[in-house]
Amino acid sequence: MLKAYRGELLHFLSDPAKGCLEESYQHFDDGLLIIKDGLVEQVGDASELLSTLDPSVEITHYESGLIMPGFIDTHVHYPQTEMIASYGEQLLEWLENYTFPFERQFEDFEHGKKVAEFFLTQLLAAGTTTALVFGTVHKESVEAFFTVAQQKKLRMICGKVLMDQNCPDYLSDTAQTGYDDSKALIEKWHDVDRLQYAITPRFAPTCSAEQLQKAGQLLAENPSVYIHTHLSENKDEIAWVKALFPDNDGYLDVYDQHKLLGRRSVFAHGVHLHDCECERLGETGSAIAFCPSSNLFLGSGLFNLKQAQKYNVNVGYGTDIGAGTTFSMLSTLNEGYKTQQLRADKLSPIQSFYLATLGGAVALDLEGTIGNFTKGAEADFIVLDYHATELMSRRMQHCRNLSEKLFILSMLGDERHVKATHIMGERV
Ligand code: GUN
Ligand code: ZN
């Protein structure tokens, strides 16, 4: 069945940083998005498309709003929802003092379901329609997450954490149980409806070489699943990896030697990377999740986006809840801009909104499926409201072009400015 949505409309066709800026996106002051059975059928100027559209098709008109693809969060921990804003520590102490004790609760499936329900409601309210999500070490945490995401008909990627050393006993699996549980979850959930599985070694310090080897084996046996882990977030963490894996040539090499790099591998943070590591990420098609809110909160450092772009590394935005302090992708863009300012690098609003939508889809190897309005893409989209707050509304009066509008949305915007979220065409 056909449906149509009318209003100002924006989506990306390619990376503005790579080719011609003007050709990287389509923007219609008065656009029409036509959806057929939950998928994008056509997008264009309302005046042109309306003349050929069957008059019986229902049209929803979003005036004074901006219709765009749903945001994509390429790194987030659903079990850390209720421990957001835990005071005072950098990464390693934060994990030990707050995170590990907290994640213990997710051995309980019912607890996982309750938190997953709340987490996904928050994400949708913030306009995020797809995310790459950490569970905990417990397979029940992933069962709970997928159960709720499936009910909501969402495209979500999740995995059970692998960690068999340098963590509390109550949170530890073994190389073999981690492999067995992940395999069972892949068989049950991967590519069921819109759900996909990510093999999820927490990070090199909490994984033995045997566990990483088994993760590589699992990937070789299931090449369409993801790898999702952390990389070079914090200087003490990097020194620890060096001590734990003295025979490897740096942090990324630990993952590389275990065959964990590739088109569906996503590494969170990558704040302190050497050029040769970026080069390797680029040539393997691996992605980095840029998590500015988390990097500032934990004092981890300032991600070097220019360096990643130089080596053609795919980059998406991540909120990294609960080290990140917001579910809002608009607020995350705000933090991203400011981190680049501190590096004396300019991050343009066009580039920011690309990274939050199509860039995220490319990072997740889901281009053509989500992230823009090409024909056949899943119609997950949002409507941003310029007038949800008095301040933004006033600021918008002095706005001259699309770039300025996007910049103001990203500096002043948050959940309040997400007027509607649609999943497969349906408003939720
Ligand atoms: N590195 C290993 N585990 C974590 C985690 O839970 N959060 C963050 N930000 N970094 C990590
Ligand atoms: Zn994380």
- Concatenated DSSP letters of 59-73: EEEEEEEEEEEPEEE
* 85 and 104 assigned to the same domain: yes
- CATH code of residue 33: 2.30.40.10
Among protein residues, the one whose CA lies closest to atom 7 of ligand 1: 323
* 108 and 27 assigned to the same domain: no
In a domain, 361, yes or no: no
* 65 and 204 assigned to the same domain: no
| Whole-angstrom distance, CA of residue 69 vs CA of residue 357 | 6
* 387 and 323 assigned to the same domain: no
Instruction: Locate 157 and state its tokens.
Output: 């990627």
| Whole-angstrom distance, CA of residue 20 vs CA of residue 37 | 33
- pLDDT for 370 equals 98
Any ligand 1 atom below 6 A from CB of 11: no
In a domain, 334, yes or no: no
* 37 and 75 assigned to the same domain: no
In a domain, 225, yes or no: yes
Residue 95 C-alpha to ligand 1 middle, in angstroms? 7
* 85 and 122 assigned to the same domain: yes
- pLDDT for 20 equals 92
In a domain, 135, yes or no: yes
- pLDDT for 400 equals 87
Any ligand 1 atom below 6 A from CB of 99: yes
41 Cβ partners below 8 Å, 6+ apart? 2, 34, 35, 375
Instruction: Locate 146 and state its tokens.
Output: 């997928």
* 9 and 133 assigned to the same domain: no
Any ligand 1 atom below 6 A from CB of 167: no
Per-residue pLDDT of the chain (428 residues; tens, 9 = 90+): 899 999 999 999 999 999 899 999 999 999 999 999 999 999 999 999 999 999 999 999 999 899 999 999 999 999 999 999 999 999 999 999 999 999 999 999 999 999 999 999 999 999 999 999 999 999 999 999 999 999 999 999 999 999 999 999 999 999 999 999 999 999 999 999 999 999 999 999 999 999 999 999 999 999 999 999 999 999 999 999 999 999 999 999 999 999 999 999 999 999 999 999 999 999 999 999 999 999 999 999 999 999 999 999 999 999 999 999 999 999 999 999 999 999 999 999 999 999 999 999 999 999 999 999 999 999 999 999 999 999 999 999 999 899 999 999 999 999 999 999 999 999 99
φ and ψ of 421, to 5 deg: -125, 130
314 Cβ partners below 8 Å, 6+ apart? 285, 286, 287, 288, 359, 362, 363
In a domain, 144, yes or no: yes
Q: So what's the ipTM on this one? A: 0.99
Any ligand 1 atom below 6 A from CB of 95: yes
| Whole-angstrom distance, CA of residue 222 vs CA of residue 228 | 14
- CATH code of residue 291: 3.20.20.140
Any ligand 1 atom below 6 A from CB of 233: yes
Q: How many CA atoms lie within 13 A of 95 on its CB side?
A: 17
Ligand number with the minimum distance to the CA of 240: 1
In a domain, 348, yes or no: no
| Residue 299 burial (10 A CB sphere; 0-12, 13-18, 19+) | exposed
* 260 and 323 assigned to the same domain: yes
- pLDDT for 242 equals 98
The pTM of the full predicted model, rounded to 2 decimals, is 0.98
- 322 prior amide bond cis, ω within 30: yes
Asked which of 327, 349, 365 is the last residue of a domain, the reply is 327
* 216 and 180 assigned to the same domain: yes
| Whole-angstrom distance, CA of residue 162 vs CA of residue 182 | 9
What is the position in ligand 1's atom list of the atom closest to the CA of 77? 6
Asked which of 301, 327, 353 is the last residue of a domain, the reply is 327
Number of domains in the chain: 2
Instruction: Locate 54 and state its tokens.
Output: 């069957």
Residue 265 C-alpha to ligand 2 middle, in angstroms? 14
Among protein residues, the one whose CA lies closest to atom 5 of ligand 1: 95
Instruction: Locate 30 and state its tokens.
Output: 């008065």
What is the position in ligand 1's atom list of the atom closest to the CA of 291? 9
Any ligand 1 atom below 6 A from CB of 264: no
* 139 and 167 assigned to the same domain: yes
Residue 351 C-alpha to ligand 1 middle, in angstroms? 26
Q: Are 272 and 240 in contact (CB under 8 A)?
A: no
* 149 and 216 assigned to the same domain: yes
Q: Helix (H, G, I), strand (E, B), or coil: what is residue 214? A: helix
Residue with tokens 């059928």: 41
Ligand number with the minimum distance to the CA of 298: 1
In a domain, 332, yes or no: no
* 246 and 295 assigned to the same domain: yes
Any ligand 1 atom below 6 A from CB of 100: no
Q: Helix (H, G, I), strand (E, B), or coil: what is residue 139? A: helix
Any ligand 1 atom below 6 A from CB of 325: no
Any ligand 1 atom below 6 A from CB of 320: yes
Asked which of 294, 327, 360 is the last residue of a domain, the reply is 327
| Residue 344 burial (10 A CB sphere; 0-12, 13-18, 19+) | exposed
In a domain, 352, yes or no: no
The preferred substitution site among 80, 91, 92, 266 for testing ligand 1, maximizing ligand atoms within 8 Å of CB, is 91
- pLDDT for 336 equals 98
Any ligand 1 atom below 6 A from CB of 75: no
204 Cβ partners below 8 Å, 6+ apart? 212, 229, 241, 244, 245, 251, 254, 255
What is the extent of the structural domain holding 136? 71-327
